[in-house]
Amino acid sequence: MKATVLAAAAAVLAGGASAASRHGHRHAHALFEKKSADTGKECVESCTTIYSTVTGEPTLLPPASTAPPSTTGPATVPTPEPHPIESPGTYTFPASTIVVTETQTDVGGSSTGVPSGTHTLGGITTVVGTGTTIVVPVATTEVHNGVVTSIIKTTTFVCPVAGTYTIAPITTTVPSDTTVTVPVIETFPPGTYTAPAVVTTVTETKTVVYCPYTSQTPEPAPAPTSQAPPPPPPPPPPPAITTHEAPPPVKPSNTPSSSVVPKPSHAPLPGSTTKQWAMTYTAYAETAEGGCKSASEVMDDVTAIAKAGFSAIRVYSTDCDTLPNVGAAVRKLGLRLIVGIFIGQAGCDNASPTVADQISALKEWAEWDLVDLAAVGNEALFNNFCTVGELTSLIQRVKSELGATGYNGAFTTTDIVTAYTNNDVSALCAVIDIVATNAHAYFNPDTKPEDAGAFVASQLKIVEDVCSLPGVVLETGWPNAGVCNGVACAGPDEQRAAIESIEKALGSKAVFFSFRNDPWKQPGACNCERNWGCAEVWGV
């Protein structure tokens, strides 16, 4: 049977891209421009895949004897609907709906461009803190009578020492540049999924047309049966001043057994041994228009950040050629990267056009030796762009996608403290390697600049306690201009005092926001949103 892949069609069916948020980049990359709903929907022509599923997360066990791999039968999940086509013609496929009543796991496909040669792709990456035996679900393939079947197997592995392990990857050899699709585990939270009615013209014989489920109405999250009360949140800011937010951009192989010991590649948790760890950076010009900077301008900026004493840079997304330009500068200057996937109003899943394009850009770039941390979402819970379940599922998908291209570093998301304390985030905490928060002491009217460090440290402690994980602060700073918010006043002297306080308290775990002022933003009620540039504190 012949079949072809049209990877972009699923993104087209997913709807329009994200509108800019209230402090957003007004002239961002076209990927993030607002678009009207697409009425010319098409089906996706793809390869035939037979699914078999088994649910369950990685489980730590004491050392035990080898257990044989196990599989179960297929579950009802919103994987793309296959429609076999025998001859060319115009075909109409009716709409269909699937209701998922409990979280389901299935096998999906992750496509990656590779050059000629032998490549090891896919598998599942896990981190263990000590030598142990683990039982993990892994996506793999089997061939029977010429039919390739993607399945999930539960397999036991021995991890002899602490470290990061990639388990059950697939090895394939290709004679020339090509696109390879490897199985990845997908998770579907409860909800109603819809595949819209479509009309498509097929010009080939004996092919399969796939119509993906592209919309989801989440089910209400059940109330937790028991949960320890979170620590009390800090005093809220006055209603006239809103919480600061960052700018959005705009092969098969032999079945593994427990006798195979995977080679660990240790990935220490991010941070610094000095009082300066990282600086946030966006490649937007410091003008009212805020266009994209050139590669040489980015190099100049990154050089200044390195001169100031920072060892890492945090980027929010992939627009403005951020990965190739910032990546080249970071490599030349010996710095590290915190990469990001920005989530906006377009949707909180990998079918969202903005999210899908960012995942593709990261997979194509794939210079993972530069990356210490991948942050999926920036204040996505606080802004109601995601539910906890949606964000958890997306992080799992991104881990599978990037892991298939060789990334074995840490994953997280970042949000303000109340996003953690006002939600049941236990499922989210289970899929991240380190907890992260954005903490801006200026928005607490009872915090003076010289007390900013103590405030930010207290915020970090709260989220660390919620998730029982080590934590970092992925955004913190103080404005150099703006109105007074109680005793929290903005200005150059106040900014310097606040940043020195934060550096002293937890500079080795903090990412300072931001490199330069952002004239392209709206000033906001605080008249401060343009004025968070702090590089001058370090003389650059």
Q: Is the separation of the CB atoms in 514 and 282 below 8 Å?
A: yes
CA-closest candidate to residue 215, choices 37, 50, 399, 82: 37
Name the token pair of 228. 């320890």
Dist CA 358 CA 355 (whole Å): 5
Whether 379 is a known active-site residue: answer yes
Q: How many CB atoms lie within 10 A of CB 99?
A: 12
User: Is 319 in contact with 29 (CB distance < 8 Å)?
Assistant: yes
| Catalytic residue of the set 186, 401, 475, 529 | 475
Q: What is the 3-state secondary structure (H, E, C) of 58-127?
A: CEEECCCCCCCCECCCCCCCCCCEEEEECCCEEEEECCEEEEECCCEEEEEEEEEEECCEEEEECCEEEE
Whole-angstrom distance, CA of residue 126 vs CA of residue 134: 10
Instruction: Give start and end residues of each alpha helix (H) in 388-491.
Output: 388-403, 417-421, 426-431, 452-467
Q: From the candidates 45, 379, 401, 503, which is the catalytic residue?
A: 379
Residue 179 CB-density burial (10 A; 0-12 exposed, 13-18 middle, 19+ buried): exposed
Distances (CA, A) of 364 to 401, 406, 534: 11, 11, 32
475 is catalytic: yes
Q: How far apart are CA 39 and CA 336, in angstroms?
A: 43
**Number of neighbouring beta carbons within 10 Å of residue 65:** 7
Q: What's the N-to-C CA distance of the chain in angstroms?
A: 62
Report the amino acid identity of residue 467.
C
Q: State the catalytic residues.
A: 379, 475
